[in-house]
Structure 1
């Protein structure tokens, strides 16, 4: 008996989302540039996922890896940055 192996379809929303996955597999809709500076278009883009997590990618590499954070992780980072705890990254 010959078994036909099903072809994999492209990833759609709702499938397993994991840290480091290709950002392009999350789709092209819903990405935002929360801030942008005079850095020649090298921006961070973020997307809120259906389960409340946040995906982050580099705008110049939209198919590169996506970093996935929980809402609590992102809140801690933003609040820490506002408090000056990330200023060491600027020097």
Structure 2
């Protein structure tokens, strides 16, 4: 687990229980974690992978409901 990142939640996070937080102040990447488990695992993604992740989320491809 990392420390010192500036985590932020989406402005839409109050509308859902399935939220992630991101930290973009990481050299060469963006970190993602579950907002309900701030001490849990963190994924650090390269810019290209983060862009693909955001596109997949927006398109609904990762919707498990």
Asked if these proteins are the same fold (TM beyond 0.5), I'd say yes
Normalised to the residue count of structure 2, the TM-score between the two structures is 0.70
Instruction: Say which SS state the counterpart of residue 26 (structure 1) adopts.
Output: coil
CA distance in 2, matches of 1:69, 1:44: 14
Normalised to the residue count of structure 1, the TM-score between the two structures is 0.54
Q: Unaligned stretches of 5+ in structure 1?
A: 1-21
Is 1:86 matched up with 2:61?
yes
Larger Rg: 1
Count residues with an aligned counterpart: 63
Spell out structure 1 runs of 4+ moving beyond 3 A.
none
Q: Unaligned stretches of 5+ in structure 2?
A: none
